[in-house]
Amino acid sequence: MRPRGGHLSTELSTVTVDNRSVASAAAIGVLRVAIDAPLRHPFDYLAPAGLAPAAVPLGVRVRVPIGRREAIGMVVDRAEQPQVSVAALKAVRQVIDATPLLDSALMQLLRWTADYYHHPLGEVIAAALPRALRTGAPCAAQVEWWRATPAGRDAVSATALHRAPRQQALLERLAQTAHGLSSADLALQLPGWRAAARVLLQRGSIERLELDAPAEASADAQPARSHAPESGRHAPALSAAQSAALASIDASAGSYAAWVLQGATGSGKTEVYLQCAERTLARGGSVLVLVPEIGLTPQLVQRFRARLAVDIAVLHSGLSDAARLAAWRAAHSGRARALLGTRSAVFAPLPQLGLIVVDEEHDSSYKQHDGGCRYSARDLAVVRAQQCGVPVVLGSATPALETLHNLDLGRYRGLTLPRRDDQALAPRLALVDLRAHAPHRGLSTPVIDAMRRHLAASGQVLVFINRRGYAPTLLCTACGWIAPCQACDARMTVHRASGQLRCHHCGAQQPLAARCLRCGFEVKPVGQGTERVEETLRELFPDQALVRLDRDSAARPEQLDAILDSVLSGTARILVGTQMVTKGHHFPGVSLVVVLNADQGLFSTDFRAAERLAQTMVQVAGRAGRERDRGEVLIQTQYPEHPLLRSLLSGGYAGFAAAALIEREAARWPPFGRLAVLRASTRSSGGALAFLAAARQLAPAAAAVRLLGPVAAAMARRADRYHAQLLVEGAERRPLHRFIADWLPQVETLARAQRVRYALDVDPIDIE
């Protein structure tokens, strides 16, 4: 949610729209500047004194006065006539960049994003830039440089410095060179030089400069793979299906085409990406590869570095600001011709873009969901490919229903990779009826027996449970008290390893209580989480090495890498994990997959829950199956007759998807209709609902659009705010967007008056 209004809008009221003066003003020429603020329109500014507006390129950053403060914005347009009275116009204070920071192709994508998601352009641009660039850092990497001043050169021979040998040495060293030395050079030559430099700088003996770094000297936080042995670049032979896919994608080079590369884990999708990338690079194009948030492992990065004979930049949310800036600069300058990144990398600058790959395109992490512009990086990748006239490859074992629908319509083209080992050896799926086999601490007897069998046959076992922590509930055995989150309509999850109770919705945490906070009696954890399943399995299989993979055990990329390594090397025999295990990792040694709680999500109010569950199940099941042996998948459930489980069992993902698409069409849900959701939250209960009801009243009449709600969110109170939503549905995209464009400014005014936080989400993936 984006805070709206407040002091910023009051400051901005000094710049008011005055149509009368626009009509009478002579053509004066203004720059339109998009500012990182919740404002629908760019602002008009005069060019800096002495510069014609035409002399300021579009896509450069400028410092501008706004109210009583200063902001950094981007020049997005020029105009003959200002939209405001001439008297209110102010001038740009400084033009930061000499050349555009964003080229016209990227600006086109950002404009499209702002229009489609009905989000202020200034905020969209800001989201596309590393923080350092938003605050005015130079576009090119710079190096710190030191040079002796004329006064300093004169002082070299003076005796004044004889008592300060470090200063003397530094000054002598600098005076020997005409152009001076960089900090990096000095650090090598004169240890402890910086303290001396400070004194000399104060005295005026030396000066400090910032120069644009030569391309090869700019520091990249992710060191470029310089010259790996040729053997590392050796491309394995392709299967017939891989070769066919490669040939098809490659034949579309230089023009827009959207390819859906459908293949199970281990079918060799990454190899197709790699060889497509190699061919694109060989033609002089650059390559953008998007991966899900968790999928960007050091292993994957290494694999690309080992194979592609170019510098590769990496962008993800875990980077420091400096590393993010370095990666962005490397891509922007054309030095890194391949970029691997998560969601926001869809906006990365890449001159000569020739290919876009979206791996695991169904993954929900491609959708921005927590504040800001709620874009889908997968969808924007397709738009970018279209705008740039290049192919885009959407890879997945379980494509989103939207993607399959686009295939049906002929908008996308399909490519299929069978499992490399053998399609006939797809894993056997079976349900374990928990009504007949009561589980003990989450595990039923058939599951434990199967585990023993597979471990004895030296297979690995993956146990999937989509809940981290020790137990989802802490219960008082005397009075029935359940540890609640103070800020949400939710229970606290027990995290025994860290001795905490944590709320998985707002992040609140407190020490794990040993006694009931109401009656003082003993409390006990109820239900299963990954930590507890790990504990149980260690008791049942004391001789088997076990690792756990969830957001707690793999908080850092190195931890994730170590866990994956132990499974891949075979050291770990049992892997307990959450959804993280499904993110594109292939475990060839796993012969048995156990799904402990399939039932979560079978009865959700969200029409997308079934799709997500089916994808998770198929992705988890896809981990089973050794190179030669047939894998086994056991799904524990209370509802073995549930249609979703039946369609998965009989028809696999394709069977499920066909049935689900028929249901969606009957209900006019996406992809057969268009959807947006207006979400709101307030501190008072009922405030959000009242706001949305009022917003509904403001809606212009539009026959092609249906409003549903408002309703309270499934979890109405979250992080001490009350949440509600109003659905906007339309059969066609254009009328729906026209309606939103008319309606949203009024909603905005209302929200400001009522101090409500709200956000519009176009193509939402979570309906509560």
Q: Which stretch binds Zn ion (CB under 5 A): 1-9, 81-89, 474-482, 646-654?
A: 474-482
In whole angstroms, give the CA distance from residue 74 to residue 31. 10
Residues 6+ apart with CB under 8 A from 662: none
Q: Residue 337 Cβ, how far from Zn ion at the closest point, in Å?
A: 45
Residue 488 in contact with Zn ion, rule: CB under 5 A: yes
Q: Residue 715 Cβ, how far from Zn ion at the closest point, in Å?
A: 9
In whole angstroms, give the CA distance from residue 373 to residue 751. 17
Return the bridge partners of 237, or none.
none
Question: Is the sign of the CA dihedral 352, 355, 359, 363 positive or negative?
Answer: positive
Q: Residue 768 Cβ, how far from Zn ion at the closest point, in Å?
A: 15
- Candidates 105, 508, 702, 707: give the one binding Zn ion (CB under 5 A): 508
Containing H/E element for 304?
Answer: helix 298-307
Q: Which stretch binds Zn ion (CB under 5 A): 43-51, 113-121, 249-257, 500-508?
A: 500-508
Q: Residue 521 Cβ, how far from Zn ion at the closest point, in Å?
A: 5
In whole angstroms, give the CA distance from residue 62 to residue 71. 8
Q: Residue 516 Cβ, how far from Zn ion at the closest point, in Å?
A: 3
Which three-class secondary structure state does DSSP give residue 512? coil
In whole angstroms, give the CA distance from residue 357 to residue 365. 15
Q: How far is CA 751 from the centre of its chain?
A: 28
- Candidates 22, 40, 79, 481: give the one binding Zn ion (CB under 5 A): 481
Q: Which stretch binds Zn ion (CB under 5 A): 408-416, 468-476, 558-566, 651-659?
A: 468-476
Residues in 663-692 that interact with Zn ion by CB under 5 A: none
Q: Which stretch binds Zn ion (CB under 5 A): 16-24, 168-176, 478-486, 570-578?
A: 478-486
Residue 485 in contact with Zn ion, rule: CB under 5 A: yes
**Cβ closer to Zn ion: 34 or 503?**
503
Omega of the bond leading into 65 within 30 degrees of 0 (cis): no
Q: Which stretch binds Zn ion (CB under 5 A): 363-371, 469-477, 536-544, 685-693?
A: 469-477
Picking from 222, 143, 155, the residue whose alpha carbon sits closest to that of residue 179 is 143
In whole angstroms, give the CA distance from residue 435 to residue 73. 62
Q: Residue 665 Cβ, how far from Zn ion at the closest point, in Å?
A: 38
Q: Residue 477 Cβ, how far from Zn ion at the closest point, in Å?
A: 8
CB of 363 closer than 8 Å to CB of 295: yes
Residue 487 in contact with Zn ion, rule: CB under 5 A: yes
Residue 90 in contact with Zn ion, rule: CB under 5 A: no
**Cβ closer to Zn ion: 151 or 715?**
715
The shares of helix, strand and coil residues in the chain, as percent rounded to the nearest 5, are 35, 25, 40
- Candidates 153, 453, 505, 668: give the one binding Zn ion (CB under 5 A): 505
Residue 482 in contact with Zn ion, rule: CB under 5 A: no
CB of 386 closer than 8 Å to CB of 302: no
Residues 6+ apart with CB under 8 A from 321: 130, 131, 132
Q: Which stretch binds Zn ion (CB under 5 A): 24-32, 211-219, 355-363, 509-517?
A: 509-517
- Candidates 224, 309, 322, 506: give the one binding Zn ion (CB under 5 A): 506
Q: Residue 682 Cβ, how far from Zn ion at the closest point, in Å?
A: 17
Residues in 511-540 that interact with Zn ion by CB under 5 A: 516, 518-519, 521
Residue 502, CA distances (Å) to 240, 491, 523, 556 in order: 50, 9, 16, 19
Residue 715 in contact with Zn ion, rule: CB under 5 A: no
CB of 31 closer than 8 Å to CB of 52: no
Q: How far is CA 589 from the centre of its chain?
A: 30
Q: Residue 711 Cβ, how far from Zn ion at the closest point, in Å?
A: 21
Binding site for Zn ion (CB under 5 A): 476, 478-479, 481, 485, 487-488, 503, 505-506, 508, 516, 518-519, 521
